């Protein structure tokens, strides 16, 4: 698949990243108690170290976490733009970092490259089995930075498209994406949706623009790409989970977080959705606003900081 793992690696190399149902529905923990165990063992008075990878979206998310915790009176140290998951994960295990905004599907792929888990709950359940006892994930947000099939608003309206499943009855279509998109996804679209495309075009980084100008009818665009908002594109739902879940999910060192930290981060996950994150990333990536300012505005709007 065109996975968040690969995209993150590319984004990190270029230093320019922007990687469903919310598992926090009703405030419950999808792992049946990992949030509670993360809050067990008071960390009162300790400094919570919030880290991030070195791409803009992750810095933005870390700033949201950091500012929300400070608003609750938690002592926070920020260590942003550190590097790749290989570096970050080790620092979280050692306790050098306390909290990290992660993407559940990419994290699972890092811990278990052979995983076949797809939906949010399945991915999180698999993570529970793979994480060491010292680490935990908290509630996953509905927000995802993942692969999608996306169309223009005009195409969505004309062909009555809401889901990838609707494409099967939409007539012959041309699809765009990375050069490897066809070899990785063609059979999965056939198996899951009975979907075949008339033509596959390698559009790469220009996919969103190719959708807008009609070069392709549908394209593989990441769900928090600011061009979705900028060009008024429509991301199609994926009920069969052809694209693995990539929910924004706090990864924590259990010994470094208490009930206040856990509740604060879970409250953020409860408010953060993909459309909202995409709008925030437009401000950061397109309008060139400071991530800390964008984070502060979002927290204020959602009564979280």
What is the C-alpha separation between 45 and 75, in angstroms, rounded? Answer: 7
**Residue 249 corresponds to which tokens in the numbers above?**
């999910």
Domain 149-235 in CATH 2.40.50.140? no
Structure confidence at residue 184 (pLDDT): 86
Structure confidence at residue 100 (pLDDT): 98
Which residue has better confidence, 44 or 56?
A: 56
pLDDT tens string 129-166: 999 999 999 999 999 999 999 999 999 999 999 999 99
**Residue 178 corresponds to which tokens in the numbers above?**
């990375």
- Answer for the pair 231, 212: CB distance below 8 angstroms, yes or no: yes
Nearest alpha carbon to residue 103 among 137, 148, 54, 67: 137
In the chain, where are the structural domains located? 4-145+244-301, 149-235
Cα Rg, the chain, nearest whole Å: 19
Please state the rounded mean pLDDT for residues 90-94: 96
The topology (CATH level 3) of 4-145+244-301 is D-Maltodextrin-Binding Protein; domain 2 (3.40.190)
Distance of CA 150 to CAs 114, 139, 176, Å? 27, 27, 10
pLDDT tens string 254-290: 999 999 999 999 999 999 999 999 999 999 999 999 9
Structure confidence at residue 44 (pLDDT): 56
For the whole model, what pTM was predicted? 0.77
Q: Rounded to 5 degrees, what angle do the CA atoms 148, 11, 179 make?
A: 55
Parallel/antiparallel/unpaired status of strands 174-177 and 149-152: unpaired
Share of the chain above pLDDT 90, in %: 78
Is the pLDDT at 202 greater than 90? The verdict is yes
């Amino acid at each position: 698949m065109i996975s968040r793992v690969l995209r993150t690696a590319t984004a990190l190399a270029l230093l320019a990243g922007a990687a469903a149902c919310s598992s926090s529905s009703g405030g419950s923990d999808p792992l049946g108690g990992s949030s509670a165990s993360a809050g067990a063992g008071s960390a009162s008075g300790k400094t919570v170290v919030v880290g991030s990878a070195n791409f803009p979206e992750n810095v933005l998310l870390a700033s949201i976490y950091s500012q929300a915790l400070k608003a609750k009176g938690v002592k926070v140290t920020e260590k942003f733009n550190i590097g790749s998951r290989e570096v970050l994960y080790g620092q979280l295990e050692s306790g050098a970092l306390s909290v990290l905004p992660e993407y559940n599907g990419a994290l699972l792929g890092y811990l278990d490259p052979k995983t076949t888990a797809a939906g949010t709950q399945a991915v999180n359940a698999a993570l529970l089995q793979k994480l060491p006892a010292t680490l935990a994930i908290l509630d996953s947000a509905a927000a995802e930075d993942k692969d999608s099939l996306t169309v223009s608003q005009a195409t969505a309206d004309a062909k009555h498209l809401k889901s990838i499943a609707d494409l099967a009855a939409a007539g012959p279509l041309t699809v765009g994406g990375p050069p490897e998109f066809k070899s990785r996804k063609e059979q999965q679209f056939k198996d899951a949706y009975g979907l075949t495309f008339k033509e596959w075009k390698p559009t790469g980084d220009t996919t969103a623009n190719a959708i807008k100008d009609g070069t392709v009818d549908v394209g593989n665009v990441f769900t928090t790409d600011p061009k979705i908002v900028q060009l008024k594109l429509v991301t199609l739902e994926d009920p069969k989970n052809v694209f693995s879940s990539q929910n924004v999910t706090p990864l924590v060192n259990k010994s470094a977080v208490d009930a206040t930290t856990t509740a604060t981060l879970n409250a953020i996950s409860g408010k953060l959705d993909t459309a909202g994150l995409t709008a925030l990333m437009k401000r950061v990536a397109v309008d060139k606003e400071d991530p800390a300012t964008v984070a502060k505005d979002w927290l204020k709007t959602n009564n979280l900081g």
